[in-house]
Structures are given as C-alpha cells and as structure tokens.
Amino acid sequence: MSVFQAAAVQMAATPDKDANLAVAERLAREAAADGAALVVLPEVFSWRGPRREESAVAEAIPGPTTEYCGRLARELGIYLVAGSILERGGAKDKLHNTSCVFSPEGRLLTSYRKIHLFDVDLPGQVSVRESDTRAHGTDPVVVSTSLATIGLSICYDLRFPELYRRLVFSGATVVTVPAAFTAATGRAHWEVLLRTRAIENQVYVLAPNQFGRNPHGFDDYGHTMAVGPWGEVLGCAPTGETVLRVSIDLDHLAKVRGELPCLKHARLS
C-alpha cells in the first residue's frame, strides 16, 4: 500500500486514568471512522500527574493499559502507536517512559523506552527533572508493518538528530514523536525541529502533542503536527482535543529520496 491515512491525536491527560483512556479511545475511534489505518497517541496519554504518584500508577508491559490498547486496535482494525505509558522495571526502581505499537490484530508488536530524559530549568517558565523518577532507555526501535516501517521516538528525543538517522538507516519511512512538549520550548523549537528531522532524513514525521495547562503547573504547546519528507507541513492542529488526519504517500517519499539521494551520500553514521 503506497498511500494510507494516518492520524495524530491531541489531548490533555490528567491524573484520572479512566477518563484519559476514554478520551483516547473516543478520538481513536473518530480517526478510524474517517479512514485512518495508523493512529498515534501523545506521550503519557493514559496518566499524567504528580511525580510522587508515578510509581503507584506505573504498570508492567504487557499490563492493563497495553491490553486495553490491544483490544482497541483489534476492534478498530488499525495500527496503534500508544504514545507512551510509565513502565515499571527501570534501574534503581525508576520508571521507563515507553511507547508501544499494536497491530490491527491487537498484538503488541514492539515497545520503545525513551532514551533522552528532559532535565531543564527555564527560570520563570518551566523546571523539569525527568531523571529524578525515570530511567533512560538504551535501544532505538523500528518496526516493519504492512503500511510502512515505523521508527519510534518520544518528545525530548526530537533534539537528538543521531537517533533519527539511526532509525532511518534501519529502514524507517515514518517516524512517530508522541510528545508533551512545553509551550515555552514549543513556541521556539517545535515546528523547526520536526521539519528538520523530516528534511534531513527524508521521512514522514507524525507528532501528536499534549495541550493546555498540565498537572505540573505549566502549559503544553499543542500544535500536533505532521510533516512530509520534503519538509512540507501536512497539517497542524488547532488548540483543544482534536484529531489531525493526513495522507502518507510512500511513492512520494521514494521520489524525494531518488531525486535528492542525500541518505546515500552520507559518510558518517
């Protein structure tokens, strides 16, 4: 299938896991009803709350939330990238921030543990230390599907181009970037980084983001976005809960890579 429909879900997760799952399911159903064969949810879509409560709500994988997502993918007949959930089992009792991919049969195809952790202090705007409670992942992950080969990443990973080059050299034609990107950094860097990762790797980028005031007391940027392999913005979501729908055309991707074969010209890896 050279052309298929994909969707990126924008939502605002809270400490109410049941309510979050209900929102994610409603928007995924909306996307599937409109023809999406691939649906991508944002980072920490199923629960977002105080750091001190993270260990209590984290799950094993497979676990209740992944089973929920598998059933949903099977019922809708879609590939589902379940943005990320908090996974037990990291070093020193810390948690992994983990993205999971499900097949239209509901199988958990693969999972990716976020490699780069967001430790930042912007005075008067946002202060976050993910490494206080999270463990670094170690391995880039790609998964081959009947639609495309998907490379996985999460939010802050976006700032590290070497990860995306490894994903593309491993065959990725679509890269997912589920995020809870802050408004402070998003205004300056979200679009330019997404377009840059798409251009330099000649790849489709699907980036669902959280929006609005989050439980940590600062704003997320929203502006869920999809970018094509020439760097063209295929869509950018308005504020609020929404589904961004786009067409993925792998013939177009092949044309871009054929006419400007920079990936073949690369000398460093």
Choice among 17, 43, 54, 94 that is catalytic: 43
Is the C-alpha dihedral spanning 37, 21, 206, 241 positive or negative? positive
Pairing of strands 126-129, 119-122: antiparallel
Q: Is 105 a catalytic residue?
A: no
What count of other Cβ atoms lies within 10 Å of the Cβ of residue 117? 20
Contact 176, 206 (CB under 8 A): yes
Q: Which long-range contacts (CB under 8 A, 24 or more apart) does 168-172 make?
A: 168/201, 168/202, 168/203, 168/263, 169/263, 169/269, 170/140, 170/142, 171/142, 171/144, 172/142, 172/201, 172/203
Contact 170, 139 (CB under 8 A): no
User: Cα–Cα distance between 204 and 231 in angstroms, integer?
Assistant: 9
Choice among 17, 59, 100, 114 that is catalytic: 114
Is the C-alpha dihedral spanning 229, 235, 236, 237 positive or negative? negative
Q: Is 155 a catalytic residue?
A: yes
Nearest to 98 by CA among 85, 109, 117: 85
Q: Is 17 a catalytic residue?
A: no
Active site amino acids = 43, 114, 155
